[in-house]
Amino acid sequence: MAEQQEGYQIDLGNLTAFDPQHQFQSIPDKREDLVKECITHATKLIQAVADSLFSLPSTEDASGPIVPLPQPTTKLPREKPLPKPAPPTKWEVFAKKKGIQNRKKDKLVFDEQTSSWKRRYGYDRVNDDNDVPIIEAKMTDEPGVDPFATRRSEKKQRVEKQEKNRLYNLKEAAKVGALPSHVQLAATALPITGTQAAPRKVSKDELQNVAGMAGTSTASGGKFDKKLAGEKPPKHDKKYRKFLPVVEGSGMGSLEKQQTDKILNKLMAKNSHEIFNVSKAVDMYNVKSDKKRRNQQGKSSAMSSKLKVKKSPYKNASKGSSKKGGSSSKGKSGSSSKGKSK
């Protein structure tokens, strides 16, 4: 049901509206202006769809009015292409060749052993091997052979054959590109030719890591395992745990005593308010204050020595030379006078 309203084509089945006659007078230069104009025109289209919905007959409900939508008139395109037809399986080819027609079987079958109706396949099915307590022996049975084990092995062979046929059918479908949708995601994990991912080459480091993990997985950590030719010892990046010696002695043997003293000191520190020694605390405070005072005095003396004005070295040199000359003349006069007096 398509309606015409102000030149709009409205399809209520898909809740859509189209304006085939709309044209931009001039394309805006900025993207913001273009988006704004598109939003204003889309608002008009949504309003037209709402007006058409309210014109339809409705029925009242507890949640509000309900309007049945008409059939859609616009054919929307598919998101993905149509799936390709799968090739016929081995059984379908054989049945077509022999003229065998599939007939629908009943899901329930009467079980004579239990006198009840049971499923043909699946859980609690008819003629289940687990429900058979006694198997009648035949003339062709070999003596000493367990018939129950024979039944289990035959069933296992049937299941393996069925799985082999299933994988063959998937391989044929993969050649044509008609794998089922539920198998396409897991196709790389199946042994199907052309769909299994190529095996990645394992590097040397990865092999060494795996070998090291396997070697250290034993209880002894690979200590007593036989090493291969050219095999390097596994790397141990983590730290080893250190255990204290059993017999106490010097060196490592005294660590146990140190640890116990450390724990006792922590415990005593928690309860130090109960056994507080006032005289010791006062002595420690006095020692710290004296030490602080000495440091301050040493710093102040160092600063004062730095701030003193240094004399010129040239002045000291000239004064020293004059003093030396005076002392020499004095010495000469003294010696002469002494000589004369003598």
- What's the pLDDT tens digit per position in 65-80? 888 999 988 888 888 7
User: How many other CB atoms are there within 10 angstroms of residue 153's CB atom?
Assistant: 11
Parallel/antiparallel/unpaired status of strands 116-119 and 64-66:
unpaired
Written as one letter, the residue type at 329 is: S
What pLDDT digit, counting tens, does each position of 135-181 carry? Answer: 888 888 888 888 888 888 999 999 999 999 888 888 888 788 777 76
Q: What is the DSSP letter of 252?
A: G
Residue 13 to residue 69: CA distance in whole angstroms: 6
- Identify the three-state secondary structure at position 256: helix
C-alpha pair distances (Å), 233 with each of 210, 211, 217, 237, 239: 13, 10, 14, 12, 16
Instruction: Tell me how crowded residue 255 is: count the other CB atoms within 10 A of its CB.
Output: 13
| Per-residue confidence (pLDDT) for residue 337, from 0 to 100 | 43
**Reported pTM:** 0.36
| Cα distance between residue 22 and residue 25, in whole Å | 9
Is the pLDDT at 274 greater than 70, yes or no? Answer: no
Paired tokens of 3: 């309606």
Q: In whole angstroms, how far apart are CA 118 and each of 95, 129, 132, 152, 335?
A: 28, 14, 15, 21, 152
219, pLDDT greater than 70: yes
**CB-based burial of residue 180 (10 Å sphere; 0-12 exposed, 13-18 middle, 19+ buried)?**
exposed
